Structure 1
Amino acid sequence: MSSVSATALGLEGPLCKWTNVVKGWQYRWFVLDQTTGLLSYYTSKEKMKRGSRRGCVRLKGAVIGIDGEDDSTFTITVDQKTFHFQSQSSEERGKWIEYLEDTIMRHKGKMSEARRASSEKGVDKKVLEADAYLQILIEQVKALEQKMEGEEGDNIRETLDSMRNNAKAVIESIKQGIVMLQIAKLVPFRSFVKNTVSPVNGLMSKDEREDSSPVDVPSSSKAAHASHMSSNSSLDSIEANTSPQRNNLAKRESMPARSYSSSEDEFEDAVESLVTNDRTTNSRTLAKQNVYADDSEEDALDCESHGSVITHLLSQVRLGMDLTKVVLPTFILEKRSLLEMYADFFAHPELFSTISDIPDARDRMLQVVKWYLSSFHAGRKSTVAKKPYNPLLGEEFYCVWDVEENRNPNKPIENLEQVTDGPVPWGNEEQVVFVAEQVSHHPPISAFYAECADKLMEFNAHIWTKSKFLGLSIGVEMVGQACVSDLKHEEEYIATFPNGYGRSILTVPWFELGGKCNISCAKTGYSANVTFHTKPFYGGKLHRISVEVFHITDKKPFVTIEGEWNAEMNAKWADGRTEVFIDTQTMNINKKKIKPIEQQREYESRRLWNGVTVNLKAKNIEKATECKRFLEERQRREAKERKESGAKYQTKFFQEDGECWVYQNPLQKRLEEQTKLFSAQQTDNENTPSTPINRTAVQQRPRRPVPRGSLPSRTISTPLCRRRTYRLLLQGI
């Protein structure tokens, strides 16, 4: 039976509290009074009855944090201190967190609108100034590091290294200052609190009552209280909590001005995760509603109402800290997986599939650039920077696109043959088909592959995301590369990805791309340098992009492209001509086709995350968090089981090849296997004596089985594939 008891005024029971005096966990008896918003603790239950309070935590303006790796510990951050607690079980921790969050909501302080507007204006100015200086320093440190690489003298290198270290220390200070300014803006609190003699159990002074601004406890919490009372509290304990002896005890204990501990121990926090609720549920219960039918823009974020979560995140992160392990609050999540967002690279599949149709090498390079530049805007459904779900290990995503440019008008789509041995068995030969898999969790690596069999086009890519806290922004580095393969001309185009930035994370966050990328083809010698420009502090436009396209023999680019990657981009040729290169605002996004959720496999993205998505759509953040937590805990449990058994996770569709992840059964491999099979059949026919053909017998002859992983024999009858097969034979492949 749980040792935690619900009382008429809150909750009480044992917890362990970390203390720096003895550097360890110490047993304490805790009493939560929801009316006054105070969590008091004593060395024992007997000391509690005598009124010998050891310390207390004021919950007004407090932030609850939990450790995703440990299901029994949690923290309370308030009054510039972080208190660490440990319960006997995850169930008890859940009960404490539920009551503590209800108490925090009841005592959430409010500022007048006039005072708030005035203070925010001043803080905004200081935050922007600090961020401007921060960006300048970061750029100067980068320039200094580049200069160090070219210096050979030891003395000079030591001097420059010392300057770099000092500059990084200044950057650290500025970033910490930005964090404090952000917290000051988001969670304003009173500078002084009157130390009035007020009973702990509810009899506050007039000043305290007016300032506390109590909020009614939600009905669900009241029901939970009643349940705890009936199942875990005896009549004696309830009477003790409301007895005259307890009230006399309360009168002897004053309401403190600040949270305190008898040892004044401060714990240097290292918690990296936070959630809004700790209760879990089974997300496999799929809601029967089509939450993906509406592709309208995402709702704006209400960061004001979720301020304590953002503040806690800011208070935990450090300069340059990797945010991969930080569990972000559910309310800022976008209603789709990152794997599905990668699929939107092919929102204009006709640009990709027609690359091989272009006879001139230079024009093919320009077509690759055009497809690349058009691939980013569809991935952002809104100007608001929400974060897609972090894919779980083993998660899959499949989709296809119809390509009108590919279709033969005399051939109905229902008569097209399916590429049953391809990445999407229900896709046909004239479609662009796509498959993605999360192949690693630490580091988080996503691999994806696309092809258009009819056009002999392939695409293989992997991306490893690294997130860092950058003061006013969160930066996501996209480590990895893509390979666009034109099998018809035997060309490969290697491309890299820009970084992503979530700006203004305390108000309404917005998204931009930044960094330098490259597209190159070793066979033809063409390359393109692509620069995504971030918005400067003063002036400038958003989402600017510039591109220079070269040949290896050129000293200057033969064409430059400038504009905005989510709008119009104009090309200027070396001979002075100008034209609109591409305008994403006037292009129709080709929507991907996906199987209904009830027909998907367990680990397909939309089915896997359906519980989270349905509840986000219904604005039920608490339930969405429960579903998300279930998936994350299952992933941790499976990883623990593999570690204990010494088993290595086996990927399904991709395999590691050096630093890259490649699709195991790409179109080129299948064509080569089919070519070998065709060649073997031709050899057999040459060695077989010529006999009259019995056409009836041929028609009735069973089809020769095709080895696993190869193209079925019907592929040979496809004209383009047949030409490809003969060409491979002539080249001796």
Structure 2
Amino acid sequence: MGSKEDKASAAGGGFFSTIAAGVKSWSTAVHKSVNGIMGYEGLEVINPEGGTEDAEAEASRGRWKQEDRDGYWKMMHKYIGADVTSLVTLPVIIFEPMSMLQRMSEILEYSELLNKADECDDPYMRLAYTATWFVSNYYALQRTWKPFNPILGETFEIVNHCGISFIAEQVSHHPPMSVGHGENEHFVYDITSKLKTKFLGNSVDVYPVGRTRLVLKKSGQVMDLVPPLTKVNNLIFGRTWVDSPGEMVLTNLTTGEKVVLYFHPCGWFGQGRYEVDGYVYSSEEEPKVMMTGKWNESMSCQPCDLEGEPLPGTELKEIWRCAPAPANDKYQYTYFAHKLNSFETAPKGLLPSDSRLRPDRYALEKGDMSKSGNEKSRLEEKQRTEKRMREAKNDKYTPRWFNLTEEIAPTPWGDLEIYEYNGKYSEHRAQIESSTALTDADPTTIEFNPWQYSDVAE
């Protein structure tokens, strides 16, 4: 398993130090593997190369049958090395009944961590709570099912989850770009996301070309996140599993303080899988709080000295634990994820462009694979038709709830165009909530309509 010093060396070298300029000085200062003191529990055998020993188990989960694997391997091997984000039309058998916009919103499940961060007077614990909130999202990212690519103009909205209002919109189809805005009395959360992939045959690397901005309202402090990449292993052959090795860097742009967390890569026998550890640093690059845990279980922290060692008289304190999830859930959904799909949580006056209303998603949720595949093909064809109409009219697609800015943000994986929330959804929602004309109609009767032109919707 290696000693604590061995792991400290591996982490201290900045495994993903190229993530951003200047990060190396933070991660090498005293970036030790504090998780080593916790031991390794629940190890499992993982074959990184993918084997046939668990092919039957994968087939029983509804993923690939032997003839399916062989056929898709012949089709997809020519794309090795390519970005397949929107290149290949995939069968619904590998999809989950959720769109990427819905998956974006899963980070809101543990928003109470941001409420604590906003109320916290200790600047380093404030960062610890905030960084843990971002780590908590990785439990959802471990799912090996693919969400549906959003249709251009598709939206997803949440109203009054812990006081939060959230709106996400698909603002570009090629390249696929999603934008989200969430807000409550404690924080404002904005994200522009453009995924970039590299298909490697039996695996795919997913690069999060995006920008995240988080503002804590009490202090007015602005946080910026740079996450590690995600690797989907054994995509076709063997048991599919997800890993996110590398460094996650959270920077307080207001004060210069920073969190650097190292996500350990999974070894052959599960060694290091799920493990996260690192430090909260002062603006003078001194470690102040050590953080350790597993992104699928819990995170803990403890004040530390300049060498990164726990301060005498202090204890390791758990600050987050993953909520219990439904047993044997086919798609590994949490209770919160199920709420995102439920029409019972849909707000009054649900937008007809909402992901819940997608007929392919809804059919898959009901177990009708054939209908789901047919509806997916129909929606994709309508999207192509609308694109041709837009080009013929020399029109440019304009998002409804977000505006494209002139800002171009550099990321470790390429430049990113930045969209900003235009405030119109808040006005729209206020009108809906104050209206007495709108009744709580059955949202399942609303036809999915993200289209720019009315004749496409017919």
Common fold: TM-score over 0.5: yes
Please state if 1:499 is matched with 2:236: no
State the number of aligned residues.
353
* Structure 2 CA distance for aligned equivalents of residues 474 and 445 of structure 1: 19
Choose the corresponding residue for 1:602, options 332, 335, 352: 352
- Counterpart position of 2:95: 333
Shift of 1:647: 0.7
* 2:172 counterpart of 1:440: yes
Q: Give the distance between the partners of 2:125 and 2:294, measured in 1 at CA.
A: 22
Question: What one-letter code is carried by the residue in structure 1 that aligns with 2:181?
Answer: Y
Partner of 1:392: 151
Alignment deviations for residues 288-310 of structure 1 (CA, whole Å, 9 cap, x no partner) = xxxxxxxxxx9552443522443
1:193 corresponding residue in structure 2: none
Q: Is the 8 A contact 2:356 2:362 kept in 1?
A: no
Report the Cα distance in structure 1 between the residues aligned to 2:383 and 2:270, rounded to whole angstroms.
Answer: 46
Distance 1:622 1:316, change over 3 A: farther
User: For residues 484 and 346 of structure 1, do their structure 2 counterparts lie closer, same or farther at Cα, with a shift above 3 Å needed?
Assistant: same
Aligned amino acid, residue 314 of structure 1: M
Matches within 5 A, 1:518-537: 518-537=249-268
- SS for the counterpart of 1:347 is helix
Superimposed CA distance per residue, residues 522-562 of structure 1 (whole angstroms, 9 cap, x where no aligned partner)? 2222111122222134651322222221011133x112222
Alignment of 1:288-437 (within 5 A): 299-304=61-66, 306-377=68-139, 379-380=140-141, 385-403=144-162, 431-437=163-169
Distance 1:516 1:554 in 2: 16
In 2, Cα distance between equivalents of 1:710 and 1:603:
15
Which of residues 651, 660, 664 is equivalent to 2:422?
664
Q: Is the 8 A contact 1:376 1:566 kept in 2?
A: yes
Distance in 1 (alpha carbons) for counterparts of 2:181 and 2:347: 21
Partner of 1:646: 394
Counterparts in 2 of 1:73-84, with a 5 A limit?
A: none
**How many angstroms does 1:599 deviate by?**
5.4
User: In the aligned structure 2, how far is the partner of 1:300 from the partner of 1:540?
Assistant: 28
Check conservation: 2:128, 2:291, Cα contact below 8 A. no
Q: CA deviation at 1:482?
A: 1.0
SS in 1 for 2:165: strand
Q: Deviations over 1:262-302 (max 9, x none)?
A: xxxxxxxxxxxxxxxxxxxxxxxxxxxxxxxxxxxx95524
Distance 2:366 2:216 in 1: 44
**Cα distance in 2, alignment partners of residues 367 and 480 from structure 1:** 22
- CA separation of 1:648 and 1:504: change in aligned 2, threshold 3 A: same
Aligned position for 1:563: 293
Report whether the alignment pairs 1:553 with 2:308: no
State the alpha-carbon separation in 2 of the partners of residues 469 and 585 from structure 1: 31
Distance 1:327 1:470 in 2: 17
The RMSD of aligned alpha carbons is 3.5
1:605 to partner: Cα distance:
0.7
Query: By how many angstroms is 1:628 displaced?
Result: 0.2
Native 8 Å contact 1:346 1:352 kept in 2 = no
**Which among 480, 489, 512 is matched to residue 210 of structure 2?**
480
Q: Residues 533 and 320 from structure 1, CA distance in 2 versus in 1: closer, same or farther, beyond 3 angstroms?
A: farther
Decide which of 176, 191, 196 is 1:461's aligned counterpart. 191
Distance in 1 (alpha carbons) for counterparts of 2:213 and 2:347: 30
Going by fraction, where is helix more abundant, 1 or 2? Answer: 1
The amino acid that maps onto 1:468 is K
Does residue 1:628 correspond to 2:396, yes or no? no
> Cα offset for 1:710?
13
Q: CA deviation at 1:491?
A: 1.0
Distance between the aligned counterparts of 1:334 and 1:397, measured in 2? Answer: 16
Secondary structure (helix, strand or coil) at the match of 1:343 reads: helix
* Bigger CA radius of gyration: 1
Kept after mapping to 1: 8 A contact 2:289/2:302: yes
Q: Which moved more, 1:361-370 or 1:342-351?
A: 361-370
TM-score normalised per structure 2:
0.68
Give, as a single letter, the amino acid of the residue that structure 2 aligns with 1:437. Answer: E
For CA contacts below 8 A with separation 6 or more, give which structure has more relative contact order.
2
Determine whether 1:510 maps to 2:241.
yes
User: 2:318 matched to which residue of 1?
Assistant: 581
Structure 2: how far apart are the matches of 1:473 and 1:531? 22
Q: Distance in 1 between matches of 2:225 and 2:278?
A: 13
Q: Tell whether the 8 Å contact from 1:303 to 1:507 is kept in structure 2 after alignment.
A: no
- 1:637: which partner in 2? 385
Contact 2:401-2:424 within 8 A present in 1 as well: no
Q: Identity over aligned residues, as a percent?
A: 22
Secondary structure, counterpart of 2:396 in structure 1: coil
Bigger proportion of residues as strand: 2
Which sections of structure 1, spanning at least 5 residues, go unmatched?
Answer: 1-141, 147-177, 187-297, 404-430, 671-707, 713-733
Partner of 1:27: none
Structure-1 separation of matches of 2:148 and 2:80: 23
The separation in 2 between residues aligned to 1:650 and 1:312, in whole angstroms, is: 39
- Structure-1-length-normalised TM-score: 0.44
Give the deviation of 1:402 after TM superposition. Answer: 3.9
Verify the 8 A CA contact 1:361 1:524 in the aligned structure 2.
Answer: no
Cα distance in 2 between the residues matched to 1:642 and 1:304: 42
Using the alignment, how far apart are the partners of 1:495 and 1:328 within structure 2? Answer: 31
* One-letter code aligned to 1:345: I
SS of the residue corresponding to residue 306 of structure 1 reads: helix
One-letter amino acid matched to 2:419 = W
8 A Cα contact 1:323 1:469, kept in partner: no
Q: Is the contact made by 1:570 and 1:578 (CA closer than 8 Å) also made in structure 2?
A: no
DSSP 3-state at the match of 2:244? strand
SS at match of 1:393: coil
Question: What whole-Å deviation, never above 9, does each CA across 1:356-412 have from its counterpart, x for those lacking one?
Answer: 2223333322221222222332x25xx651100001111100013543xxxxxxxxx
Distance (Å, rounded) in 2 between the aligned partners of 1:401 and 1:519: 27
SS in 2 for 1:553: coil
1:570-611 CA distances to partner (integer Å, 9 max, x unpaired)? 32431154414344335786555865499533211111x2x2
Residues 327, 520 of structure 1: CA spacing in aligned structure 2 closer, same or farther, 3 A cutoff?
same
